[in-house]
C-alpha cells in the first residue's frame, strides 16, 4: 500500500505496480532494450542528435521505482543497447519517502559539480530546481512542435519561466470513482457536472442505496491542495495568476469552487464531516466497503476495489474524469515523476541522449508494462499489449488529458502551507470568501 502521507506530491508511483510480479520480468522483459543510436529518429522527438565520443560515463539519480523490474534494470538495458554511453545509477529511496528523495537530490545538485547528470523529480519540485539554476533548459533539444506528443498538463508542469526545464516521464492524477450499479439505478449516466453529481448522490442516499454520496479528501495536507486545484480549475479558476507572481484564489471562480466543497458537507449533505480529517486511505475505505456512491482518489484504489479480500464492490466500480461546473472543463491534479538534466553536467550531449531514451515511446511503454507507471504520451494508451495487460491503465487516457499541475512556483513549499491553512479554515468555518481572500494576500507576499 502506498504511503500517501509521505507521497505528498500525490504521485501514486506504485499504484499499478501493486499487481506486478518481479519474477515475471526475469522471464520476459529482455527484449525491450532499444538502440539509443536510433532513438533520435525512432522517438519522433525531432531532437538534435547527440553524439558522444567513445564511451562516456554519466550518472542518473532516481527514486527507487520497481514492478516486474527496477530502475537499475532499465539503466542496464540502456547500457547494453549501445557502446558509446555508460550510465551509472544512483538509487534514491522509494517515492513513498518523498522527503528523503527530495533532500537527496538537493544535496547533490547544490554542489554544482555535475553529479548526477540526469535525475528524476516529483512534478512539484521542477520550478524550484529550475529557479535555483540546477536544471538545464531543454528547449533547444525538444522543439515546441514535438511537445504535443505528451499530455498538455505534463508539458505545462515541466515548464518554468517559459522554458522547458524537465521532460515528461510518467503520470498519475486525481480521478472520479463511481458505483456502476448505483449510477444505473439513479439516472444511468455518469454525471458531467458537480451539480448533477450532487443531485444523483443525494437521491441515492435518500433511497438508502448509499450511506455517503461523495467522498473526497479535506485533511489539512497536500492532498487538500490536489482536491482544491481540481475543483477550482473545473470552474475556470486558478490559484496563481498566469505569470505566477500573484494569487487569484480570492476571486469568484475559486470561491465558488471551495464553497461547493463546503456545501457537500453542510448544505447538500452528500459528504460526511469526517472528510475534513481524511486523506486518501480513510476516504478509500468506506468506498470499497460499499458505503459510498462517488469518490475522488488516485489510481491505486482500482486494484483494491477489484480485490475480493479487500473490497465489497468488486466489478461494481468504474472511473471517469472528475465533474466540472457548468461551462467549465474537467480537471485532474497532476502527479508523477519527470526527468531533468543537471545544468552543471559536463557531459551534456550524453545526458540528453539518455534523457531522450528514458522519455521515448519505447521506454515509456516498458515502464507501463513492467513498472505499472502510466505514460505521459497519449499515443501509448492505444497500444494493444498495454490494453491487454493493463486494461485499467489503458482506460485512463481521458482522465490524464485533463491533468492540471499545482501552482508552478519556486516557492511552492511555502505556498502549499499557506493554501492548506487557508482552505482548511474556509472549509471549517464556512467563511469561504474572507478566508480565501486572506490566503491570496498571504500568498502574494510569498510569490511577489
Contacts of 15 (CB under 8 A, 6+ apart): 2, 172, 298, 299, 300, 302, 303, 372
Chain centroid to CA 211:
30
- The confidence score (pLDDT) of residue 33 equals 31
Spans of all domains in the chain: 56-172+335-402, 175-331+409-447
Query: How is residue 114 written as a grid cell?
Result: 555535475
| Domain boundaries 56-172+335-402, corresponding CATH code | 3.40.190.10
What's the pLDDT tens digit per position in 279-305?
999 999 999 999 999 999 998 899 899
Mean pLDDT across the stretch 51-68?
85
How many other CB atoms are there within 10 angstroms of residue 138's CB atom? Answer: 20
Separation of alpha carbons 335 and 399, rounded Å? 12
Residue 23 confidence (pLDDT) above 70: no
Helix 222-233 with 252-266: angle, nearest 10 deg: 110
CATH number belonging to the domain at 175-331+409-447, selected among 3.40.50.300, 3.20.20.70, 3.40.190.10, 3.30.950.10:
3.40.190.10
Q: Which of 17-26, 67-76, 374-383 has the lowest mean pLDDT?
A: 17-26
Separation of alpha carbons 441 and 448, rounded Å? 10
Separation of alpha carbons 36 and 430, rounded Å? 56
Mean pLDDT across the stretch 437-445?
98
Q: Which residues pair with 404 in a beta bridge?
A: 333
Q: Is the peptide bond before 327 cis (omega within 30 degrees of 0)?
A: no
Separation of alpha carbons 336 and 11, rounded Å? 5
Query: How is residue 51 written as a grid cell?
Result: 553524439
Confidence class of residue 186 from pLDDT cuts 50, 70 and 90? very high
Look at the alpha carbons of 125, 127, 131, 134 in this order and tell me if their dihedral is positive or negative: positive
**Count of CA atoms in the C-beta half-sphere (13 A) of 406:** 32
Contact, 88 vs 59, CB < 8 A?
yes
Look at the alpha carbons of 406, 407, 410, 411 in this order and tell me if their dihedral is positive or negative: negative
Contact, 424 vs 430, CB < 8 A?
no
Chain centroid to CA 64:
17
Separation of alpha carbons 168 and 171, rounded Å? 8
Query: How is residue 384 written as a grid cell?
Result: 494493444
Residue 231 confidence (pLDDT) above 90: yes
Residue 233 confidence (pLDDT) above 70: yes
Cα of first residue to Cα of last residue in the chain, in angstroms, is 39
- The confidence score (pLDDT) of residue 53 equals 54
Average pLDDT over the chain, rounded to whole?
A: 89
Query: How is residue 18 written as a grid cell?
Result: 501493486
Confidence class of residue 414 from pLDDT cuts 50, 70 and 90? very high
Residue 47 confidence (pLDDT) above 60: no
Q: Per mean pLDDT, which of 45-54, 87-96, 402-411, 437-446 is the most reliable?
A: 437-446
Contact, 334 vs 406, CB < 8 A?
yes
Confidence class of residue 46 from pLDDT cuts 50, 70 and 90? very low
Confidence class of residue 372 from pLDDT cuts 50, 70 and 90? confident
Contacts of 285 (CB under 8 A, 6+ apart): none
- The confidence score (pLDDT) of residue 66 equals 83
- The confidence score (pLDDT) of residue 329 equals 94
Separation of alpha carbons 330 and 398, rounded Å? 10
Residue appearing with cell numbers 553529479 = 115
Confidence class of residue 96 from pLDDT cuts 50, 70 and 90? confident
Residue 8 confidence (pLDDT) above 80: no
Contact, 212 vs 271, CB < 8 A?
yes
Confidence class of residue 147 from pLDDT cuts 50, 70 and 90? very high
Residue of 44 and 261 predicted with greater confidence: 261
Which one, of 315, 359, 371, 257, lies nearest residue 42 by Cα?
Answer: 359
Query: How is residue 52 written as a grid cell?
Result: 558522444
- H-type helices in 58-193, by residue range? 71-81, 98-109, 126-131, 152-157, 180-185
Separation of alpha carbons 361 and 328, rounded Å? 32
Separation of alpha carbons 346 and 351, rounded Å? 9
Residue 402 confidence (pLDDT) above 90: no
φ and ψ at residue 131, rounded to 5 degrees:
-65, -30
Helix H or strand E encompassing 439: helix 432-447
Residue of 63 and 33 predicted with greater confidence: 63
Same fold, 56-172+335-402 and 175-331+409-447: yes
Separation of alpha carbons 118 and 102, rounded Å? 15
- The confidence score (pLDDT) of residue 68 equals 87
Residue of 10 and 309 predicted with greater confidence: 309
Q: Which of 212-216, 267-271, 288-292, 304-308 has the lowest mean pLDDT?
A: 304-308
Strand 403-404 with 332-335, pairing:
parallel
Residue 21 confidence (pLDDT) above 60: no
Confidence class of residue 48 from pLDDT cuts 50, 70 and 90? very low
Which one, of 271, 294, 287, 267, lies nearest residue 186 by Cα?
Answer: 294
- The confidence score (pLDDT) of residue 115 equals 97
How many other CB atoms are there within 10 angstroms of residue 439's CB atom? Answer: 26
Contact, 92 vs 63, CB < 8 A?
yes
Chain centroid to CA 115:
26
Confidence class of residue 10 from pLDDT cuts 50, 70 and 90? very low
Q: What angle do CA 86, 91, 95 make, to 5 degrees?
A: 135
Amino acid at each position: 500500500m502506498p504511503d500517501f502521507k509521505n507521497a505528498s506530491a500525490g504521485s501514486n508511483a506504485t499504484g499499478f505496480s501493486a499487481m506486478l510480479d518481479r519474477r515475471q520480468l526475469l522471464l520476459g522483459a529482455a527484449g525491450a532494450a532499444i538502440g539509443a543510436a536510433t532513438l533520435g529518429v525512432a522517438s519522433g522527438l525531432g531532437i538534435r542528435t547527440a553524439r558522444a565520443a567513445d564511451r562516456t560515463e554519466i550518472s542518473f539519480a532516481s527514486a527507487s521505482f520497481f514492478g516486474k523490474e527496477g530502475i537499475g534494470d532499465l539503466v542496464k538495458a540502456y547500457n547494453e543497447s549501445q557502446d558509446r554511453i555508460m550510465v551509472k545509477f544512483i538509487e534514491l529511496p522509494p517515492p513513498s519517502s518523498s522527503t528523503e528523495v527530495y533532500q537527496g537530490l538537493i544535496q547533490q545538485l547544490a554542489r554544482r559539480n555535475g553529479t548526477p547528470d540526469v535525475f528524476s523529480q516529483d512534478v512539484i519540485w521542477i520550478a524550484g530546481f529550475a529557479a535555483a539554476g540546477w536544471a538545464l533548459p531543454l528547449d533547444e533539444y525538444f522543439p515546441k512542435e514535438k511537445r504535443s506528443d505528451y499530455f498538455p498538463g505534463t508539458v505545462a508542469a515541466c515548464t518554468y519561466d517559459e522554458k522547458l526545464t524537465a521532460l515528461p516521464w510518467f503520470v498519475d492524477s486525481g480521478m472520479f470513482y463511481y458505483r456502476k450499479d448505483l449510477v444505473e439505478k439513479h439516472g444511468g449516466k455518469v454525471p458531467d457536472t458537480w451539480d448533477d453529481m450532487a443531485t444523483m448522490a443525494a437521491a441515492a442516499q435518500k433511497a438508502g442505496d448509499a450511506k455517503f454520496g461523495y467522498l473526497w479528501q479535506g485533511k489539512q495536507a497536500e492532498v487538500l491542495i490536489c482536491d482544491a486545484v481540481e475543483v477550482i480549475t473545473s470552474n475556470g479558476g486558478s490559484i496563481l495568476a498566469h505569470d505566477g507572481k500573484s494569487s487569484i484564489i480570492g476571486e469568484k471562480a475559486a470561491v465558488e469552487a471551495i464553497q461547493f466543497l463546503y456545501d457537500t458537507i453542510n448544505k447538500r449533505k452528500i459528504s460526511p464531516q469526517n472528510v475534513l480529517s481524511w486523506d486518501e486511505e480513510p476516504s478509500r475505505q468506506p468506498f470499497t466497503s460499499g458505503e459510498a456512491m462517488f469518490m475522488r482518489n488516485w489510481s491505486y484504489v482500482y486494484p483494491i476495489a477489484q480485490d475480493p479480500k479487500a473490497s465489497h464492490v468488486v466489478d461494481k466500480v468504474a472511473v471517469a474524469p472528475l465533474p466540472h461546473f457548468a461551462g467549465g472543463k474537467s480537471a485532474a491534479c497532476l502527479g508523477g515523476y519527470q526527468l531533468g538534466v543537471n545544468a552543471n553536467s559536463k557531459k551534456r550531449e550524453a545526458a540528453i541522449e539518455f534523457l531522450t531514451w528514458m522519455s521515448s515511446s519505447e521506454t515509456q511503454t516498458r515502464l507501463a508494462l513492467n513498472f505499472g507507471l502510466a505514460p505521459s504520451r497519449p499515443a501509448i494508451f492505444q497500444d494493444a499489449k498495454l490494453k491487454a495487460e493493463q486494461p485499467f491503465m489503458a482506460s485512463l487516457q481521458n482522465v490524464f488529458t485533463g491533468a492540471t499541475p499545482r501552482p508552478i512556483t519556486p516557492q511552492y513549499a511555502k505556498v502549499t502551507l499557506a493554501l492548506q491553512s487557508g482552505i482548511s479554515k474556509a472549509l471549517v468555518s464556512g467563511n469561504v470568501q474572507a478566508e480565501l481572500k486572506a490566503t491570496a494576500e498571504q500568498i502574494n507576499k510569498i510569490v511577489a
